[in-house]
Amino acid sequence: MAFGGDLKDLPLEDILYVIANRGMSGRLTLTTSADEVLLAFEHGHVASVTTSDESLRIGRMLVDQGFVSEDDLEQALALQEVEAGRSRLGDILVDLRLSSPEQISRAVAAQFEGSLYRILIQPGGSFVFASGEPGWEISPFEDFPIEPMVLNAMRRADEWLARHANQAEVEIADIPIVPTILDRLSDPERDVTLALLNGETSVWKLAAATNRSIDEVETIVAQLAALGLVNRLGGSDEG
């Protein structure tokens, strides 16, 4: 069984609540213009997190937290490649006695919360949940409660969005925007300019209106500002 939709219609926290409380197994794919996250669940518990954000990859987090060395990580990644990805990186590190289940669990928990935060601060997005057993022979890493991490990710996202809304206001410069000017712009620049003309006033809202990531819109706004077409009323701070 599979179901999916728009994160604007069904909030992420509601989706996770249903999966956890019904003890569902399967894979939840979350997609925004900037990120893609795959969460594997086994009977309502997080079994693994896969993300397009390299800073949130499990191996990188284990190194950053001081649990494994760069050499340890390279060894485990090489073995995972030989196995064609059939084993989780954490399982391999534990089997090689390069890390402990507790360390892996802590890293997965941080990865889970960080990935949710990244999804929540991006405008729009979609989800697909496909039910079925993940296929690993062992249980999820040491269990951690989902609800506190979801709430913390939401709190962090709300704080970021409130701060960003105050600091990333944009307006059209006090010059006439005529068709000849629009014709000279690239497609992304034109999309953002038209969204501004339609009344959007913040980087976040521009990203939602143009279906682009916040980072991409920040770059486009900087380009338009250099051309004298927009004024920035503040700076962004992703903290």
Q: What is the per-residue pLDDT across 166-184, written as a single tens digit (0 to 9) for each?
A: 556 888 888 887 788 888 8
Tell me the per-residue pLDDT of 114-133, one tens digit each, with 9 for 90 and over. 999 989 988 888 999 999 86
**What's the pLDDT band for 134 if we cut at 50, 70, 90?**
low
Determine, yes or no, domain membership for 102.
Answer: yes
Contact 20, 146 (CB under 8 A): yes
Kindly state the tokens that stand for 146. 């989902």
Tell me the per-residue pLDDT of 35-68, one tens digit each, with 9 for 90 and over. 899 998 888 888 888 898 888 888 998 998 899 9
**Is there a single domain that holds both residue 29 and residue 145?**
yes
What is the mean predicted confidence (pLDDT) over 216-227?
90
Is 167 in a helix, a strand, or coil?
helix
**What's the pLDDT band for 18 if we cut at 50, 70, 90?**
very high
State yes or no: pLDDT of 236 exceeds 60. Answer: no
For residue 203, give its domain range. 168-232
- CA dist list (Å): 31 to 40, 117, 144, 190: 15, 13, 24, 25
Name the helix (H) or strand (E) containing 130: strand 126-131
- Give pLDDT, residue 83: 82
**What's the pLDDT band for 138 if we cut at 50, 70, 90?**
very low
Q: What is the DSSP letter of 88?
A: -
Q: Which of 164, 183, 199 is the last residue of a domain?
A: 164
In whole numbers, what is the pLDDT of the chain averaged over residues?
Answer: 85
State yes or no: pLDDT of 140 exceeds 90. Answer: no
Determine, yes or no, domain membership for 203.
Answer: yes
Q: Which of 138, 164, 190 is the last residue of a domain?
A: 164
> How many domains are contained in the chain?
2
What is the distance between the alpha carbons of residues 174 and 201, in angstroms, rounded to a whole number? 15
What is the mean predicted confidence (pLDDT) over 73-90?
86
State yes or no: pLDDT of 8 exceeds 80. Answer: yes
**What's the pLDDT band for 152 if we cut at 50, 70, 90?**
very high
Kindly state the tokens that stand for 5. 């939709």
State yes or no: pLDDT of 141 exceeds 80. Answer: no
**Is there a single domain that holds both residue 178 and residue 61?**
no
**Is there a single domain that holds both residue 52 and residue 126?**
yes
**What's the pLDDT band for 164 if we cut at 50, 70, 90?**
low
State yes or no: pLDDT of 239 exceeds 70. Answer: no
State yes or no: pLDDT of 143 exceeds 70. Answer: no
